[in-house]
Structure formats: structure tokens, C-alpha cells
A and B are shown apart, each in its own frame.
Chain A
Amino acid sequence: MRTYGFKEVYYEKAREAGVMFIRYEEFDRPELIRQDGELKVSLRDPVLRDQLIIDTDLLILSVATVPEPNNANLAQMLKVPLNSDKFFLEAHVKLRPVDFATEGVFVAGLAHSPKFIAEAIAQAKAAAGRASTIISKKAIEAEGIIAAVNEDICDGCGICKPICEYKAIEIVATEEDKKKAEINEALCKGCGACVGACPSGAMEQKGFKDNQLMALIDAALEETTALSI
């Protein structure tokens, strides 16, 4: 028997108190049967290789912890991922255990995975700590290498909007009854995906401008033979 965490102590106590633990194979699960008008549990013990029938005074089932069925909707609203069991998935198991990739959203407790109350409390404290690193500041320093729109060129075609993973781009109406993209500088992470997608060249990434990268390409492909004569 292997128990979770330091719960081995309780297993030992249970054994001392005379509790019997019986294994079963996953493909050969215990069954409830009615025998002589009484409720009994029938199961095959793989160690004894025999069928056991256990009399019952009281039958208590361990209830499964299942994820909240609404998790998928919430995940979509907050732009945060779920794992394959439909629990919320943190940004990094070890390095960012209560954060999401989306800034300012944190996770704790049963939303994250089935866990004991003590663990849920510890995780909630961690999440509160992480949140306080943001709300304790008077202002948030944004990344420098974020995207910027050249409003004279932007047509507001909206190609960039669905590209942005952080929902940092909005298409807004200008005074002259035109549309243009607007960047929420606090949300932009500076990946540049919108810049690569912009068909008109209105979107630029600071520090990684088109002409800067083009200059790099030119330099990398420069014909150096003329100089090496």
C-alpha cells in the first residue's frame, strides 16, 4: 500500500485498529450483491486468488472529486488552459505553480486538482501572495518590446485581432468614421505575432521593427567577396 504524501501515518493507525485493506484488479471490480436478503460485497482478492464475500453493517462509498462542468466556459472567458481532466492548468508546475500565462489570473484549490484542505489553503495563500505582488504596486511597468500601431497606415482590417493570444488588440472607430487597431499596452506581451500578420505594415514591434529585422537579413546575406579580394 502506498499512500499519498505523509498520510502513511493514518494507514498505519488504521491497520493497528484492525482495518483490513483488500486489493482488487482494475478489470475485476468489487460488486454489491444481495444474499439472503442482506447487502454484501463480492470481490476477487488477487493475493488469495479467491472470491471473497463480505458481510456489511454499513457501506460507505468514497465519492470521486470531479471538475466543475462549467470549467470549460470559465477557461474560455479568462483565456486560461484546462488539463485533460478538465481541471485548470497552471503556467508551470514548478516555476509558476499558481499563475496562469494570462497576467493577473491565479489558481488555487479544487479548481486546480483534487486535494486536501490543508493543500488548498497553502495554495490559496500562494495565489494571494502572487496577486499582492501586482495590487501592491501603484503602477505596472509594461514590457518595452510591445507592438505599436501606425494609425496613419492602419485600415482597421482586424486581421491582427484574432492573432493576439492576450486579447490586447481592439478594433476601434476613429473620429473620421474609420476603424483602426488599438493596443492595450498593459496586456501586450511583445511576441510580435500581430506584426508578422499585418498586411499593411501598420503594426510594428518596438525593438523588432520590420526595417531592423530587414537590416539583419541584409547583413547576414551580404556578399562579402568584393571586400575579401
Chain B
Amino acid sequence: MDWEPKILVFCCNWCSYAGADLAGIARLQMPTNFRMIKVMCSGRVDPEFILSAFSKGADGVLVSGCHLADCHYIGGNYRTRRRIALLKILIEQYGLNPKRLRLEWISAAEGQKFAQVIREFTEEIKALGPSPFKKKSALAVVEASPTVAKVSTAVAEASPGT
């Protein structure tokens, strides 16, 4: 099976989520590699979430909020901007390409931009290849959780042909 990237998108409730909704309503074409998590404000995105997503095998993480000075909560996105800038440095030290973390400002009216960003980012992540954490984390999950290991052996036993 060809490798398909897994991209996690954090969207703020007021701008980017509505922008994504608009992209959907307008039936804009975009890759289906992303999963979206809604938060009230991009400022809610704890750095821990992003690091956790990467450690669990996300190939890319996109954080999207309202345009600067347009935040529904006055200035949450300024905090986000600072955090993401620092996180990019941090993930590089962990051996990840900082391009795997992306910050975008997408307003509720910018369905086109949302689709464009998703297309671009997916292409970029595809070019970068699978996250170096991917295989390791998948193994770690199997080792750490006996139920998963049991299920996979059970599946392997049940279908000797594969």
C-alpha cells in the first residue's frame, strides 16, 4: 500500500473552522489526509498537543487561527504565533523538519485559502516523506499495550495466508 501522510489540523472555532466549513460547502477539492480538531481559540493549542501528535506518528501538524488583530478573543493568536515559532525550533532539535509544523491564518470567509493551504501542506509533507517517528511510535504502541499486541497476534493467527 502506498504511504499516505497523516496530517492533524487544529482550527479555531471562529475563523478557521468556519473557513474549513465554507471550503466544504463550496465543494472545493482537497486531499483527505487531514483530520481536524476544533478548539475555541488557536491559543488553546497546548505545545504538548503538537509534540504528542508528532510522537504518535503525525506526519504534519497545521495550526490555524484568525488573522492577527482579528482574533475573536482579542489576541489569542499572538500567543499561538510565539508558541509555534518556539516549537519549530524544538521539533528541529528532536530531528523533525520544522516544515512539518505549519501555522496559518484563515478567516471564516477564506474557504479557498483553507483548501489551498491543505493542498500545499499535503504536497509538502508528501515530499518530505513519512515522519521519522512514525515506525518507532507504531512499535512502541504495540509493545506498551498488551491488548493491541494480542489483537494483532490474534489477527495474524486467524489469517495465516497474510
Contact = CB atoms under 8 A, between A and B. Distances in A.
B162 A229 contact: yes
Nearest to B58: A221
Contacts of B141: 223
B15 interface: no
B49 A192 contact: no
A132 B152 CA distance: 64
Contacts of B83: 196
Given A191-B76, A197-B43, A213-B49, 16 more contacts: A165-B74, A165-B75, A192-B39, A196-B44, A196-B46, A196-B83, A208-B40, A208-B44, A210-B46, A214-B49, A214-B52, A217-B52, A223-B57, A223-B141, A226-B148, A229-B155
Interface string B52-83: 11001110000000000000111110010001
Contacts of A220: 6, 8, 35, 37, 53
A217 B49 contact: yes
A109 interface: no
Interface in A125-172: 145, 163, 165-166
| CB-CB nearest 6 A-B residue pairs | A192-B44, A193-B43, A191-B73, A220-B35, A165-B74, A191-B41
B2 interface: no
B125 interface: no
Report, as a range, how many residues of chain A touch the other chain.
Answer: 20 to 34
Contact of B48 (A190, A191, A193, A210): A210
Given A191-B76, A196-B79, A226-B148, A221 B57 contact: yes
B67 to A, nearest CB: 15
A229 B159 contact: yes
A145 B39 CA distance: 11
Nearest to A219: B35
B45 interface: yes
10 contacts: A101-B74, A191-B72, A192-B39, A193-B76, A195-B46, A196-B44, A205-B44, A218-B56, A226-B155, A229-B159
Interface of B: 6, 8, 35, 37, 39-41, 43-49, 52-53, 56-58, 72-76, 79, 83, 138, 141, 148, 151-152, 155, 159, 162
A193 B41 CA distance: 7
Nearest to A79: B74
Nearest to B36: A220
Nearest to A194: B43
A173 interface: no
A217 B137 CA distance: 14
A195 B37 contact: no
A157 to B, nearest CB: 16
A210 B49 CA distance: 8
Interface in A27-54: none
A166 B41 CA distance: 14
B76 A165 contact: yes
Interface string A43-82: 0000000000000000000000000000000000000000
